[in-house]
Structure 1
Amino acid sequence: MSGHHAGGVDLLAVLGPVVALLALLAYGLLVGRARRRGRSWSLRRTASWVVGCLLATAAVSGPLAAAATSSWTAHMAGHVLLGMLAPLLLVLGAPVTLALNALSVTTARRLSRLLRSRPLRALTEPTVAAVLAVGGLWLIYATPLLEVAHAHPPVDVVVHLHVLLAGYLFTAVLVGPDPLPHRRGTRHLLAVLVLALAAHDVLAKRLYAAATGPDVLDEQRGALVMYYGGDAVDLLLAVLVCLRWYRSGQRQLDLERPRARPQGVLG
């Protein structure tokens, strides 16, 4: 997903690599600090964070972003990277857990209190996270917002930031290893994921049907990238949700306790 500015400085292409570099440096510093405190950190999680940052950067800066200025197919490939695949890899990097291991006891306690705050409890409700992620895409592609973003670089930055953060939040709620204020049961998570997948697919089909003009084939290919690329990532999310359920030993998908409120990691 990339802006289509006709000229001037591409603010997004400049800020994207800078933010990614800062994220990589911050993560590396936390890893080093955690190890100095005698706490090991998984190389797999570090690699996941690094690749996630690189994919997010590729979506807004570089050859793919440049191709997106004239190709709807490239634009949608960027959308899948920025809003779905990069967030998944960033979430699997477990940055909050790393911070809790690396920070001082006082700072870690402050972070824990923030994680238990009411705003985060609301944001980490699966339904809320799904509405922010998929509902945001409907707002972008079913309204004039995308054209406004292309004409105004600051708006473009905000739109892309929302796509990344909303994708991160939704993924973290479903499969994140980091602590959350509360966690819903597997059946609840899968139901929300299926509904979100359906809403995403309907949007892709709508864009496919609405394709017109001389670039109709490119627009249709872009819609197909959105459809099948989104399905592939969502299928992976479903597998990870089920894998967590399997590992937890809750083989009955919480059917015995349909009204029970799952205990949160943080209490």
Structure 2
Amino acid sequence: MSGHPAHHHQETGGLPLEILLPAVFLVLLAGGYVLLADRARRRNAQAGWSRWRTGWFLAGCALLAAGLLPPVAPWAHGDFQGHMLQHLLIGMYAPLGLVLGAPVTLLLRNLPADQGRRLSGLVQSGPLHALANPVTALLLSVGTLGLLYFTPLYNTVAANTGLHWLLHAHFLLAGCLFAYVIAGPDPAPARPSVPVRLVVLGMAIAAHAVISQLMYGGFGINIHAPVDQVQGGAQIMYYGGDIAELLLAVALVATWRPQPGSRRASRPTALREARPAVP
């Protein structure tokens, strides 16, 4: 196996773009959430906004920063183990915090009534219904790992900075979708029952275990990196992935409030709780 491909760094002033751009994005993301949370509390002091939600979202931002900024980001460029840690931070740990922050509900609390109704309609739309299906989310978050590591795709992405950032975006969005489908507090179209979601989560755990074991044994993988790096990355995926999925299961069970007839009433109730602001 050949060495891990290196990236070329573009610089602007004193900071490389690979540090500056994600840092600006993270500041805007965290700052925007805090401003909206403060505005929601001031608009409706009685309803307020949970500081736990704010804490979860900021924790997600911090985990995302850990994955996108030094020292992890430079390590990921030269070592497959760093890449795998980066994947877990961006695609599994950060999404859990971001999703538990209920950003859609917070946005609905701040939007004018007409815009809030449009967003609520989008949340309940057919395309999102298909996208938020647990099987779809599973394929996008875990299924693409097989395509990435068992075809030449990983080596192509690792050698191209633009494709590498697209991979980060995919990891983040697919991870957020999966966390949202499994345990998200935001309104969702026809969310399946908790037992169904636990089964899907179990399938994700099994898939991660199979991929990491095949990777450790060198069976069918197509990764241009030293064997010790690949095996170290496989161990990070195996143990780190288990911890992330256990946390997701805890989040699901902790927020489960079974009620008689909840299947029929869940969607209107969720949307009432996330009602848009009335000017």
TM-score interval for Structure 1 and Structure 2 normalised by the shorter chain:
0.7 to 0.9
8 A contact 2:63–2:89 mirrored in 1: yes
Deviation string 1:56-107 (CA, Å, 9 cap, x unpaired) is 1221221011122222222211111111010000011110111111111111
Among 210, 214, 232, the residue aligned to 1:221 = 232
TM-score normalised to structure 1 length: 0.87
8 A contact 2:7–2:160 mirrored in 1: no
CA offset at residue 123 of structure 1? 0.8
CA offset at residue 152 of structure 1? 2.0
CA offset at residue 132 of structure 1? 0.7
Deviation string 1:217-242 (CA, Å, 9 cap, x unpaired) is 23212110101110111112222323
Provide the residue aligned with 2:277 in structure 1. none
Alpha-carbon distance in 2 for matches of 1:11, 1:122: 36
Change in Cα spacing, 1:89 to 1:213, as seen in structure 2 (3 Å) is closer
Change in Cα spacing, 1:262 to 1:237, as seen in structure 2 (3 Å) is farther
Q: Which blocks of at least 5 consecutive residues in structure 1 are unaligned?
A: 251-256
Q: Given the alignment of the two structures, is residue 128 of structure 1 paired with residue 136 of structure 2, yes or no? A: yes
Deviation string 1:160-182 (CA, Å, 9 cap, x unpaired) is 10100000000011111100011
Provide the residue aligned with 1:248 in structure 2. 258
Provide the residue aligned with 1:231 in structure 2. 242
Following superposition, which runs of at least 4 residues in structure 1 exceed 6 angstroms of deviation? 211-214
8 A contact 2:9–2:18 mirrored in 1: no
TM-score normalised to structure 2 length: 0.84
Alpha-carbon distance in 1 for matches of 2:64, 2:263: 35
Query: How many residue pairs end up in the alignment?
Result: 256
Q: Given the alignment of the two structures, is residue 40 of structure 1 paired with residue 48 of structure 2, yes or no? A: yes
Change in Cα spacing, 1:195 to 1:55, as seen in structure 2 (3 Å) is same
8 A contact 1:12–1:153 mirrored in 2: no
Q: 5 Å matches for 1:30-179? A: 30-38=36-44, 39-179=47-187
Alpha-carbon distance in 1 for matches of 2:207, 2:264: 27
Provide the residue aligned with 2:21 in structure 1. 15
SS in 2 for 1:32: helix
Alpha-carbon distance in 2 for matches of 1:117, 1:213: 42
Alpha-carbon distance in 2 for matches of 1:213, 1:135: 21
CA offset at residue 110 of structure 1? 1.2
* Matched AA of 1:217: D
8 A contact 2:6–2:78 mirrored in 1: no
8 A contact 2:36–2:106 mirrored in 1: yes
Q: Which blocks of at least 5 consecutive residues in structure 2 are unaligned?
A: 11-15, 272-279
Deviation string 1:82-141 (CA, Å, 9 cap, x unpaired) is 110100000111101111111111111111011011111111111111111001222222
Change in Cα spacing, 1:152 to 1:14, as seen in structure 2 (3 Å) is farther
Q: What is the root-mean-square deviation in Å for CA atoms of aligned residues?
A: 2.4
Provide the residue aligned with 1:253 in structure 2. none
Alpha-carbon distance in 2 for matches of 1:153, 1:132: 22
Change in Cα spacing, 1:5 to 1:18, as seen in structure 2 (3 Å) is farther
SS in 2 for 1:265: helix
CA offset at residue 243 of structure 1? 2.9
Change in Cα spacing, 1:163 to 1:219, as seen in structure 2 (3 Å) is same
Alpha-carbon distance in 2 for matches of 1:4, 1:213: 8
- Which is bigger in relative contact order (C-alpha 8 A, separation at least 6)? 2
